[in-house]
Amino acid sequence: MALRKVLDMEHYEKELRRKSRTVEKFDQRLASLLDDMAETMYAAPGVGLAAPQVGILRKAVVIDVGEGLVELVNPQILRTEGEREWTEGCLSVPGYWGLTKRPEKVWVRAQNRNGEWFEKEGEDMFGLAMIHEIEHLDGILYVDHVIGGLQPDKADEEE
């Protein structure tokens, strides 16, 4: 496993705005990418990471909101329910957070690292993470939805 560099908006806005391609090969290269992404996410630390954030334009994300590691390959949002406000952040927009309005609940279909399809239901932090990371695959960032502008991180201010 290896740490990968997380691209940030300031230097890589163009890359982060590109659409990722479908994963077609469920091989060792994909497994290594997912392993590296998980390691990079935990080291950050963060609760989710999408492949384009490490410069790989492939539809792969990793999430761990404290309930164990979830890998989503070629994920699609099947449907959503409800709406609520969240405070959201992103490893590609370090030092900031913002308020967003997001669905309360989401149903996702995805493949695992072996290519097997499964469905995942998510609410609260996990649902939010799935939506946030899947949007990265379409070049969308939470800053596009932010209500009232980005807020600087309090922890950073105090440093």
Continuous segment of H or E residues that includes residue 100: strand 96-102
Nearer to Co ion, 33 or 90 (CB): 90
Classify residue 147 as exposed, middle or buried by CB count within 10 Å of its CB (0-12, 13-18, 19+). exposed
- What are the backbone dihedrals phi and psi of residue 145, each rounded to the nearest 5 degrees, phi first? -110, 0
Binder to Co ion among 33, 90, 128, 146 (CB under 5 A)?
Answer: 90
Stretch that binds Co ion, among 9-17, 58-66, 85-93, 101-109 (CB under 5 A): 85-93
96's tokens: 């900031």
The CB-of-91 to Co ion minimum distance in angstroms stands at 6
- Catalytic residue (one of 71, 88, 133, 135): 133
Continuous segment of H or E residues that includes residue 59: none
Let me know: does 159 contact 152? Beta carbons within 8 Å: no
Task: Confirm whether 88 is a catalytic residue.
Answer: no
> Buried (b) or exposed (e) across 102-132, using 16+ Cβ within 10 A?
bbeebbbebbebeeeeeebebeeebbbbbbb
Let me know: does 37 contact 49? Beta carbons within 8 Å: yes
The CB-of-92 to Co ion minimum distance in angstroms stands at 5
The CB-of-136 to Co ion minimum distance in angstroms stands at 6
Stretch that binds Co ion, among 13-21, 88-96, 101-109, 121-129 (CB under 5 A): 88-96
Q: Is 51 in the site for Co ion (CB under 5 A)?
A: no
Nearer to Co ion, 23 or 41 (CB): 41
The CB-of-30 to Co ion minimum distance in angstroms stands at 20
Nearer to Co ion, 62 or 90 (CB): 90
Return residues touching Co ion (CB under 5 A): 90
Q: Which residues are identified as catalytic?
A: 133
